[in-house]
Every structure is written in structure tokens, then in C-alpha cells.
Amino acid sequence: MYFCYLDESGTPQLGAQTSHFILLGMAIPAAAWHQKDRRVNVIKARYGLKDAEIHTGYIARRFPEQEHIANFEKMNPTQRRAAMAQERKNSLIKAAALKTGDRLKSLKKQYAKSADYIHLTHAERTKLLQELADEIGSWNDARLFAEAVDKVTMPPGVDIFEKAFEQVVTRFHTFLTKREGERVKRGGSSTGISVDNQGLLIQDNNQTVAKNITALMRKFHHQGTLWAKVDRIIETPLFVDSSLTSMVQMADLCAYATRRFFENGETDLFDRIIGRFDQAGGRIVGIRHYVGGKNCACKVCAAHRGQKKTK
């Protein structure tokens, strides 16, 4: 059986800070879960993050307070944490004095979300994300599936989340179907579906997503559309706590890397994982950049165009 961990990056709403919405699934064989979980934990422990959640968006950003602390690099982790706590306390006092509640609120949120990582310099945090991306890139038995939507190119009235969800789930299902076909071709029994090629969706239990998915599931069940077609996927998506589940955190890293590639042209993390997107006959089929009728020169669109031409 395959577990497919779903995560998103950016928001599906128009007019938000992000131009793209990414929905990504990272599928791994259930039998390989222990080994992969262990390897991720080894990397995390090396950075003093044994029990911490890897929240890529917060790890990747600059911590301006760090840059104000003299000789930060030369301190040990305990000293770094103490210096950062002091620096951040001062920033909060300053923000409170301005009496604009918004600034204070956003600082507090930022500090809480990044508290686990303040003992690492920006260079160390970059290295951590690179190591994790390389680790995922080395998982030959894992597959990535993603829909990257350039939001303004989506026709009005279309539910971006729903479209992306349907695309990713369908691609995961296609992968399972292909594997099942190969199994039968190798002489396996063709009655029933092998449990090896069934799939289960696992999703981070954050409020926004849970609400979106629940509404969608209700619709699918009611209309009997998508789930009737994707019979290799069992159950409805299971929700887990991302702070406790390393694999959801790895899907989060992949979704982040994918969004930064399409939005900002950042290739460092994306290139480390691109080889894991599902391929068929040497063609990349696991990811699509949705740009409507627009011409896009990115390598994912170029690869898709190249495929069409050779058909």
C-alpha cells in the first residue's frame, strides 16, 4: 500500500500574497515508512531539531534579529537561544509601544512559529533544507504528484482547490493503476486488486484544509463522481497532526520548493526533488503548471510541450 501525504503551499484565494497555489502529494510505500521516518529524524537530530516540526516556510526565512547579534555564529546553541530570546523580547516591547496591534500580533505569530529554529544561522537552516530535499530526492520508491496553479489564469468561478485536488488524486490513482498493470503483466493474479497497489491519502489537519477537504468529500460522495473513478484509493483522507508526523513535513518541504520555483524561479530545492515527480516512459507526468492559455517558458511547461510535439 502507498501512503500519499498531501500538503499545500500558497492560498487558493485570488489576491492573496502568492501568485500560485500548489497542491502536492508525496507517495511512499507503507513498508518503507519506518526506514524513511528514521532517516529524516537522523537529519533533524543533527540540527538539534529531534522533536521539532520542520515547517519549511519559517525555516527558510531570514530572522532579522539574528543579524543584530554580534558574533552569533561563534556562540553555542544555548547562548544563541538566550541571545535571540532577549533580542526578540526587545522587538516585542518596541512593537507594543507603537500601539498598532497588527504588527505585534504578526511578530508574535512569527516568533512562535520559528522558535524551534532560532539556534541555527540562516546558512545552517538552508543546509538543513538542502539535506532533507536531497534525502527525498534519493527515495527511488517515492513519487511526487503536484498541480501548480497560476491563479489569475484560472477561469472565474472555478474552485482552485477543488481542481488541484482532483488533479493530484487522479495522478496518484493513475500511478497505482500503472503499477497494478505491471504486476499482472509479470504474471500476478488479475482477480481483485493487489493490496500493494492501493493508496491512502493523508493530510495535515490544519483548519483551512480540513474545511476545504470536508466540503469536497461531501460533494464527491453526494455526486459519486471522483471516488467512483478512483477505486484504488481507499477510505477518505486521514487527518494527522503535522507537528508529529515527519512525512507530512517532507510533503510541506516539497510543496514549498515547488511554489518557490514557479513564483520566484528558485531552483535550489526544486532541482533536488524534481526527479521524484512521477514519470511514464521517460516523460514527466506527475506535475503540471496550470497557466491557462498563457505561454510559459518554465522547464515543466517546456517538458509538457515537448511531449505533445513528439506524440
Task: Give the residue with the Cβ less far from Zn ion, 37 or 150.
Answer: 150
Minimal distance, residue 309 CB to Zn ion, in Å: 16
CA distance 33 to 50: 18
Kindly indicate which of the ranges 126-134, 161-169, 196-204, 301-309 contains the residues binding Zn ion, using the contact rule CB under 5 A: 301-309
Residue 46 in grid coordinates: 543533527
Q: Is 146 a residue that touches Zn ion (CB under 5 A)?
A: no
Give the residue among 229, 204, 235, 205 at the shortest CA–CA distance from 217.
235
Residue 295 in grid coordinates: 505561454
Minimal distance, residue 130 CB to Zn ion, in Å: 24
Radius of gyration for the chain, computed over Cα atoms and rounded to the nearest angstrom: 21
CA distance 154 to 294: 11
Minimal distance, residue 296 CB to Zn ion, in Å: 3
| Cβ-Cβ contacts under 8 Å for 17 (sequence gap 6 or more) | 11
Task: Give the residue with the Cβ less far from Zn ion, 22 or 216.
Answer: 22
Task: Give the residue with the Cβ less far from Zn ion, 6 or 287.
Answer: 287
Q: Is 303 a residue that touches Zn ion (CB under 5 A)?
A: no
> Which residues between 264 and 293 bind Zn ion (CB under 5 A)?
289
CA distance 228 to 180: 18
Minimal distance, residue 265 CB to Zn ion, in Å: 11
Task: Give the residue with the Cβ less far from Zn ion, 128 or 301.
Answer: 301
State how beta strands 287-290 and 143-150 pair: parallel
Letters for 51-90 (x = contact with Zn ion by CB under 5 A, - = none) are: ----------------------------------------
Minimal distance, residue 27 CB to Zn ion, in Å: 23
Task: Give the residue with the Cβ less far from Zn ion, 240 or 296.
Answer: 296
Minimal distance, residue 290 CB to Zn ion, in Å: 9
User: Which one among 52, 92, 296, 303 touches Zn ion, defined by CB under 5 A?
Assistant: 296
State how beta strands 279-280 and 283-284 pair: antiparallel
**122-137 and 246-264 helices cross at what angle (nearest 10)?**
100
Count Cβ atoms within 10 A of the Cβ of residue 239 and give its class: 0-12 exposed, 13-18 middle, 19 or more buried: middle
Minimal distance, residue 302 CB to Zn ion, in Å: 8
DSSP assigned state of 19? S
User: Which one among 1, 200, 234, 298 touches Zn ion, defined by CB under 5 A?
Assistant: 298
**Would the CA dihedral through 158, 164, 167, 170 be positive or negative?**
negative
Q: Is 301 a residue that touches Zn ion (CB under 5 A)?
A: yes
Task: Give the residue with the Cβ less far from Zn ion, 23 or 230.
Answer: 23
Contact residues toward Zn ion (CB under 5 A) are: 289, 296, 298, 301
